Amino acid sequence: MWVQKTIAKCWRTAGFTRFLSSQSKVPQNPTWRIEPETEAQDSHVTPELIDHLERLALVDFRNQEGVQRLQSAVNFANQLHHVNTDGIEPLDSVLEDRALYIRGDEVTSGNCSEILLQKAKSVVEDYFVAPPGNIPLPQKENEYLSTKGEDI
């Protein structure tokens, strides 16, 4: 118990963190600079796009503030386009040089429907119960958006 506490204390002390950073291969400071945001970078989030994204992700941006947050997130992510990746193979995963583990075709799991069904809120005869299948979302008036059709 006391060991854990000590370690936690160490972590919290700035000196220890700095010690770790100096050992790290991650540069202390960025080696390239983000261009200041320009007008051109500004992506246009249209009400149609908001609607599309809300449907895809089944989220609700709720209000003007939420939409602005989305806008700035998009702008932030768009900066990645400034990184020169010419001639560089995309990296899917840092594990991509590892061999993919191949499993023999043997049955070693399953038969645990009781445990799984316990986690469900609603169950009927060993089936999970879900709301009826994809119902098109009603075309709602996004009252938090400024005039429909206009960019934000």
Contacts with other proteins, residue ranges (CB under 8 A): 52, 55-56, 58, 92-93, 95-113, 116-117, 124-136
Nearer to other proteins, 27 or 110 (CB): 110
CB of 83 to other proteins, least distance (A): 18
- Helices 47-57/64-78 angle, 10° precision: 90
User: Could you tell me the end-to-end alpha-carbon distance of the chain, in angstroms, rounded to an integer?
Assistant: 54
Kind and range of the H or E element at 123?
Answer: strand 123-124
User: Apex CA 50: angle with CA 48 and CA 56, to 5°?
Assistant: 105
Nearer to other proteins, 42 or 51 (CB): 51
Nearer to other proteins, 27 or 136 (CB): 136
Nearer to other proteins, 16 or 127 (CB): 127
CB of 48 to other proteins, least distance (A): 11
CB of 80 to other proteins, least distance (A): 15
- Residues 145 and 47: beta-carbon distance below 8 Å: yes
